[in-house]
Structure 1
Amino acid sequence: MGSKYPRSLRFCLPLGALLLQAAFIPLFYFIPYQASSSSSSLPSPSVDQVDNKFLEHYQVFQDLTLVAALGFGFLSSSLRRHGWSSVAFNLFMLALGVQGTILMNYFLYQYFQWNGESKDKTLVSRFQIATMSTVPLLISACAVLGRVNLVQLSAMVLIEAVTFSAVSAVSRKFFHVEKHICMMHGHVFGAYFGLLVAWCLSRSLPKEADKKAQTEKVQMATSSNLFAMLGTLFLWIFWPSFNSALLEAINDKKNAVFNTYYALAVSTVAATAVSALTHPKGKINMIHIHNAVLAGGVAVGTPCSLITHPWIAMVLGLTAGLISAAGAKCQPVCLSHVLPDPNPSGIHYTFGLPGLLGGVTYFLLRETTYRSSEFATGMVLEIGALSFAMAMGMVAGLLTGCLLIAKVWRAPHVAKYFDDQTFWEFPHLAVGY
């Protein structure tokens, strides 16, 4: 008898991936390693200054890569039979998304010609921005990993990379939002994009079949949870680097690093305490630790450079931790008819709600710097930019979800959800798998 695991990627994945990579290569012909020298009368930096700047950017780029590759890769690997796919597919999406985002950002920069946008951006700087722009893609993927194949993920990554780059360009051009704020809005964009895609996928299947297929596979094993905790630790350690990466003033960078650490520390304590409090026997739920401890870093990301007192960051971290822990407890009961069940990654209460909290906090802190004549304009621009990112994430996610349920993608059968054997070779198992 033949295998129950269809070879849905036998031709689709190699052909699609190779054609896509072949299309990317000639487009990179237009992206030089260094822009031509400007006619500015300012003196050129010395070789030592250039080398120091490169090393500084490269160190930040390494931190961002650890966040994207290791942090998000292991964060979603808690399911007992979906660890290989979670980690490896995350790396594939990162590699594809960075290439697509670099291309989109470069051509959008050329088109918009932003005032104040440096014309001599090094390739390392472009990689920094591209890696941060890929994080919303990885957040969205957490909501659908296990339900889709790699071809569907490739299409999703391309659509989301193009959409988020366009959203960032529009936000900077028309809402006058700094690039740091655009990247922080990516948490909200990625969370709601992923939730809408997952909602479409779950609605395309009978609810009873979906739950029956997931009953055993979504259970967590001790070793898998340990790897997921490793991803949480990587994100926890390097999140201050992520929040401060695009800030240029040294005081802003210092504020971002310290405030992020304070918020992460408080949200960790709050998540642990609330998890034990909500259990009848006072036991701690590992899912809360995986997600809620990061909520403080997400919430403080947008206003991190504006906070000048530690207590503000600590209050923000406490609030985000409480919201995230409460969301992890209440979502399966209150939102099961709206959001797909299960949602092991918890992107709604880890990135979506804390991201909105951070956006509102940023507006409240900026309010004190506005003159009365500028208040209305500033309010419209800042709230409009956050609302625009959220709305575009939901619209693009809905359209992408409707596209991914088409039969042409040859998605895995519902019985093969959250199962590595659908996609990976297991030499120690029976022939045919």
Structure 2
Amino acid sequence: MTELQTAGPNAAFSLRGVLVKDAVQQRWAVMGVVVRPMQGEKAAEQVCRYRSSVLFSQQLTTEQLHNFLLRAADGSVDIAGETVAVSSPPGCCVTEATVENYWMEQAGRVYDIQVHAHVNVPQQERLVAVGEPYYPDPFEAARHWLGLRQYHGPSDSSTGHIVVLMPETRAYFGNAEWSEGSLVVSIAGSLAGSQGLSVAGCCWAGGHFQHLAGTVTSGRAALDVPADAQRLELLVVDNEGTVYDFHKEDTRYPVSGRSMLAQRKAVTAEPGMLQQIYNGEGLRTEFKEFLDLPRGTTPPGDKDKLQQVLKTVVAFANTEGGTIYFGVSDSCEIRGTADAVAKWAGGEANETVIEEYMGALRAKVRDFVYPTVALQTRAVHHNNRLVVMLEVERAGCPTSLTHDSRMYVRRGANNMAGQPADWQAPESTQL
């Protein structure tokens, strides 16, 4: 392994693992082994023995680790005094891992070596022995002992594998933030403050490809990333062409680890808005999870969702005004509406599509409410969840629906059909 050679002969590695006695074949098998380079500290030499499981940790030099991996490749390896036969020809899968990846917090490379095609773990067996730590089962032991960032118990794909984690400590992506229309990324690591580092990459926005480049100055680089970018790829490189870290994401799919594009949407809603939502529906507040706006100008039926929204608009206008929050449930939970907006548009919920949806919403109100009411729409992202707000001002004269002559007013959290006498003109402003 090239990484072991570059680590140097005096490098130290921590090896931690879990062995189990296969419940069917009754021979020792690797449930999981994780190897990490050490940063000065010493690894505790420890072996915890149970009836059908062994937990072990030890410190290895570069040469010892290299020999350990060679023995595994030869079909058998001695671990914690037990001979473990390899049942699967070891093949090494190398993954370039970004920050906060599946395996570890830092960026780097992951060498994943499968040594057992299948392990019949004694799932119900408690790990209990005099003088040893207690675990309810081998999976809880592996979750705690291996120290992986994620571990999925019986369904974890790392069962039967030896995993060598080589985190990048020289230069890697740290935090990211949006400032004055640019994506500003910080570089962490031992070389972060040195000269010659830069960030190179590209992005896709609106179907168009765009190159990105920025020099790292004082550990930061500013990139001209469009606000509606859907895909992003970035590299940390030096003048010699050495690649230290990379970042890749696509808003169409879940991001593994830290999302830079999502930072532009991680807007915390103003406290007043959150307080209104937490107080629940009322005289000036209404919640809707989503409104699938129909195409065309046919008046909605009495039980249509659009009709219910239009009644609320009229009731707000005839009473004290108010706000309809789309993306909030009746139980005051901010669920977001981005996926529904994307489905409505038949594309992605980028800024352009969101504005198109809000424009269509305003148009529906103009089509079916008379006379025209003063309103505005806003898109707010709270914890990366899209909330569309339709704010209605109190009207200066009685307002109704073009296809329903009744005058609706707001009574608590309900829209009621009232009489013209129920309407009161707003008080004139004293100058």
TM-score, normalization: structure 2?
Answer: 0.20
Larger radius of gyration between Structure 1 and Structure 2: 2
**Bigger relative CO (Cα 8 Å, ≥ 6 apart):** 1
* Structure number with higher helix proportion: 1
Name the TM-score, length of structure 1 as normaliser: 0.20
